[in-house]
Amino acid sequence: MEKRGLLLSEVQEIPKESLILLTGPPGAGKSTFCHQVVLNGLAMERPVLYVTTEHGPSEVAGLLKKRGMGGIPSGALSFVDAFGETVGVTTLERPDTISANCEDLNSISMAIAKLQEKIGRKEILLSFDSLTSPYLFNKEESFRFMRLCLAKFASEGNSVLALMDEGCGKEEDLGAMMSVADGIIRMEIIDHSRTINVLKHPMVRPTRMDIPVEAEPTIKLELRIDPTVMAQFVKALLKGDEAVIRKEVGDFVNLFWPNLAHWSGMLWDPKGFPKLIYDLNKEDGANRENLKYFPWYFRLMLRVLIPKSLSRVKDMKKLVSRWPMATSERSGILEYLEDISKTDEHYTRVYENSDCLGLEDIGATIASHIPPMFAGCCMSSEMGKRDWNAIETKCIGLGDPYCEFKVVPGEIEELKGSLEKEGSVVERIHDRLMENLAVFLVRQEPLAERPRLGSDVHIHVACHAMGFPHLGERYRMAQRMGGARSGKIIGERLLEAGLKEDEAVRRVIDFMNYCKVGKVTLGETVRIRENCESIRTKLFTHIKEPSCYFTTGFLNGLFSAVKNQHVRETKCIVAGDPYCEWEII
């Protein structure tokens, strides 16, 4: 144990004139490793320059204090905040901080140079947590940034530790980054152990360390539901087209908006986030507590008509034919495939799946809502006696004319692999969405529609596509960053198409109204009444602060690209305001 501890401390000491690249999948513990490196540097009285792209500096300082950082001399720890300005959130002003933007690597380089000059000495430890967001905004420039900024900074008598997530981009891009680094450390979680694999290091020979960690808890739908809002959701489902939740714009949203939010955030963890969404939808479907919000006659119908065991074909057929969610939400049209189903192995076809519209033949299975929700409903029908799971066997995303999924009790061996996506696949999906949106905005051509169900889905489907805040801080960060990246890309495309600045912004605002995101108006501020994202968060009675993560990021990316301005959410329905509002800075 002592030998392992000694070796780990050696690895966590970044040599002078060295650039160390720390890689691994999201959640492998890279930030924790980074924080310990920073604490070690401060203990050795080395000035530390911390570039943060996923949190505000105050949050990072708070985490460092939790891990043992005490009082430090003035000037010992400085920050480059490349988070707040990128996503349009307010971070606390600090005298030790210079702001930058992930969209502009030059701004980060300049901030580092200014702080280096202010510190006025060598042996600085530069901690870059992390390169993932700057890379996703600036793929073509990332390698050059590492070589001309980070490697150069290290060569001047300093040390650099740079973090990079695996799976969030092309493998060859990560390989190019590795070629610049003086050292490479890879981390991952294997069988409840954190593996630290030193592939290359100036001072330590290649080695591997396994450190036991506690298993991550399974995601459960631990929502503190606002009963008034949930009752509105249920009433809206039963009432159909009648507006219940949003009196002005109605309870349906063009499915393009939630799908854009979903796939924008997926870029930050294409392997981990799909599993989180699967668990979320499944747990929601299995949650029998939600039934108390339905009227008594509906609950009675379920008790009388829905079988308590779903093993037999004829019993599962009853559940599919009476399952109200897909039809009332317009997420798809279900058909039970009696001829190929058998005991404890059931197949259902989904026509006009809302997850897949506009993403035909994209090269991957992409349905995220109906299959896990239905698996959860199977668990609910059987009173939780068995764990059900669902997997797509056909998908519009694979080029099939419809989607199909298999649902069975117990585990499905290939499920995890089918949910995980390669970064290149998510990039391809996102590019398709961006292209569809650009055509809509520039040529004024309508977005895709389904023959029978049209283009709208119930706000409940939108909530699940956009994800819930309880999925964790990293997921919320991904929604912010994903929105900022999408807004930036579409803003740049509109300018490239020859649109003037004001016209580009106006067309995007019109697009948001077209999608029924809410009632959007633009003046000295951007105001959205009945914003679908804030309605989602109102389900959580413990959240009382501005929390339109994707919308804020999207608007900030747009204004940054088109007008070199930024937006900040100052009012939010979740915080008790009558509307959501963003000031333009």
Please tell me the distance from the alpha carbon of residue 197 to that of residue 208, in angstroms, as a whole number: 4
Instruction: Please check whether residue 210 is in contact with residue 193, taking contact to mean a CB–CB distance below 8 angstroms.
Output: yes
pLDDT of residue 223: 53
For the stretch 534-547, pLDDT in tens is: 887 776 656 788 88
How many distinct structural domains can be found in the chain? 2
Instruction: Please check whether residue 389 is in contact with residue 411, taking contact to mean a CB–CB distance below 8 angstroms.
Output: yes
Q: Is the dihedral of CA 71, 61, 64, 187 positive or negative?
A: negative
Q: Which domain holds residue 390?
A: 230-502
pLDDT of residue 465: 84
Residue 522 falls inside a structural domain: no
What is the pTM assigned to this prediction?
A: 0.92
Clarify whether residues 246 and 206 are in a common domain: no
Clarify whether residues 274 and 412 are in a common domain: yes
Residue 523 falls inside a structural domain: no
pLDDT of residue 218: 46
Clarify whether residues 196 and 244 are in a common domain: no
Clarify whether residues 251 and 196 are in a common domain: no
* Structural domain ending residue among the three candidates 484, 502, 520: 502
What token pair was written down for 533?
């994202």
**Spans of the chain, pLDDT less than 50:** 1-5, 215-221
pLDDT of residue 14: 94
Clarify whether residues 187 and 270 are in a common domain: no
Concatenating the DSSP letter of every residue in 516-563 gives TSSEEEESSEEEEET-HHHHHHTTBTT--S---HHHHHHHHHHHHHHH
Task: Show Cβ contacts of residue 482 under 8 Å, excluding neighbours closer than 6 positions.
Answer: 261, 263, 264, 265, 266, 267, 268, 550, 553
* Structural domain ending residue among the three candidates 502, 524, 556: 502
Please tell me the distance from the alpha carbon of residue 482 to that of residue 342, in angstroms, as a whole number: 42
Spatial strand order of the sheet with 403-409 comes to 333-336, 346-351, 403-409, 388-394
Residue 349 falls inside a structural domain: yes
Please tell me the distance from the alpha carbon of residue 262 to that of residue 429, in angstroms, as a whole number: 11
Clarify whether residues 111 and 200 are in a common domain: yes
φ and ψ at residue 204, rounded to 5 degrees: -125, 135
Please tell me the distance from the alpha carbon of residue 432 to that of residue 363, in angstroms, as a whole number: 12
CA angle 377-378-379, nearest 5°? 90
Clarify whether residues 239 and 323 are in a common domain: yes
pLDDT of residue 220: 47
Is there a cis peptide before residue 130, judged by omega within 30 degrees of 0?
yes
Nearest to 393, CA basis, from 423, 349, 361: 349
* CATH classification at residue 74: 3.40.50.300
Instruction: Please check whether residue 414 is in contact with residue 427, taking contact to mean a CB–CB distance below 8 angstroms.
Output: no
* Structural domain ending residue among the three candidates 502, 532, 558: 502
pLDDT of residue 299: 65
Clarify whether residues 306 and 434 are in a common domain: yes
B/e letters for 241-251, b = 16+ CB within 10 Å, e = fewer, are eeebbbeebbb
Please tell me the distance from the alpha carbon of residue 580 to that of residue 230, in angstroms, as a whole number: 21
Clarify whether residues 352 and 469 are in a common domain: yes
**SS3 assignment, position 401:** coil
pLDDT of residue 300: 64
pLDDT of residue 403: 98
Residue 445 falls inside a structural domain: yes
Residue 397 falls inside a structural domain: yes
pLDDT of residue 340: 97
Concatenating the DSSP letter of every residue in 34-74 gives HHHHHHHHHHTT--EEEEESSS-HHHHHHHHHHTT-----T
Clarify whether residues 127 and 271 are in a common domain: no
Clarify whether residues 164 and 102 are in a common domain: yes
Residue 570 falls inside a structural domain: no
Clarify whether residues 120 and 260 are in a common domain: no
pLDDT of residue 94: 81
Residue 528 falls inside a structural domain: no
Residue 63 falls inside a structural domain: yes
